[in-house]
Amino acid sequence: MRAGLSVHKITKQYREQELVLKEVTLEVEEGSFTAIVGPSGSGKSTLLNIMSGLQKPSSGEVYINGNNITRFSEKEMANLRRRSLGQIFQGYYLMSHLTAEENIRMGLPVSGDSQTVQELAQLLDIEGILGQFPRQMSGGQQQRVAIARALIKKPQVLFCDEATGALDELNSKKVIALLHQVRLQYGVTVLFITHNPEIARTAQRVITMKDGSVHKDVVNAKPIRAEEMSWA
């Protein structure tokens, strides 16, 4: 296994509160799809935010491609996120005054080659809405635009925090299928936080968080296809 991302003894504490994360250690295989599950308050989102550089741990280390990002300056971390890391949230966070295409182009790095907007639009089936504003789009369309914005920089790692939480069953299946497709097509490492056990069944690996620690870490021998997910 080639670890594209790893964390070593990560802890997080907010002031005098109880530890949110308790010496979490794990490695994530490059190009894999890993689901992180667990009850609310188990530390899932905090762990994802630390792995993506949005938060600093109280102690411990995070490595991306062998680089200890916990030692990065704010400028170095911003450059890494701009070049190599993509993020998708439950909220789409699209700029309301920009069209779909303009929102997607916001994800472009300052310099360097990128996938064209048209290539991603075709992949994500949003070619017909590139000139529309967010208020003119459905929730599923807005989420696909957000995915395109995250992917246009060709990220090495894609962090997804409840990325389908606001979508219905049909659009959730479409988004999960798309994420698996782009993982295979572009070799992106995907980490996906979810409360939905059906989404977790599509992952190659499922990490269960409980009380700030890794409670279970299971390799899924037979992941299901997104189309096989059932909300029943």
Structural domain contains residue 157: yes
Dig out the tokens for 125 from the structure. 């089936």
The pLDDT of residue 110 is 57
Percent of the residues in the chain that have a pLDDT greater than 70, as a whole number: 95
User: Could you tell me the pLDDT band of residue 117, with boundaries at 50, 70 and 90?
Assistant: confident
Query: Which of 16-20, 44-48, 77-81 is predicted with the least confidence, judged by mean pLDDT?
Result: 16-20
CA-based angle 69:74:79, to the nearest 5? 75
Residue 95 confidence (pLDDT)? 95
Q: Domain of residue 111: give its range.
A: 3-224
pTM: 0.89
Quick check: is 229 in a domain?
no
Q: What angle do CA 152, 89, 175 make, to 5 degrees?
A: 70
CATH number at residue 191: 3.40.50.300
Which tokens sit at 186?
A: 């572009």
Domain assignment present for residue 98? The answer is yes
Predicted local confidence at residue 115, as pLDDT: 58
- Which pLDDT score is estimated for 192? 96
Q: Which of 21-25, 44-48, 161-165 has the lowest mean pLDDT?
A: 161-165
What tens digit of pLDDT does each residue of 48-57 get?
A: 999 999 999 9
The verdict on residue 7 lying in a domain is: yes
Say what the pLDDT of residue 120 is. 86
Please report the pLDDT score of residue 3 as a whole number: 54
Evaluate if residue 39 carries a pLDDT over 50: yes
Could you give the CA distance from residue 104 to residue 113 in angstroms, rounded to a whole number?
15
**H helix or E strand, kind and range, residue 28:** strand 21-29
Give CA–CA dist 197/210, Å, rounded: 15
- Structurally, the chain folds into a number of domains equal to 1
In a domain, 146, yes or no: yes
- Mean pLDDT to the nearest integer, 95-123: 81
Residue 81 contacts residue 61 (beta carbons within 8 Å): no
Strand partners, 28: 5
CA distance 22 to 139: 36
Residue 230 lies in a domain: no
Per DSSP (E only), the strands in the chain are 3-12, 21-29, 33-37, 59-64, 67-68, 85-89, 157-161, 189-193, 205-210, 213-219
Residue 231 lies in a domain: no
Please give the Cα distance from 81 to 150 (Å, whole number): 10
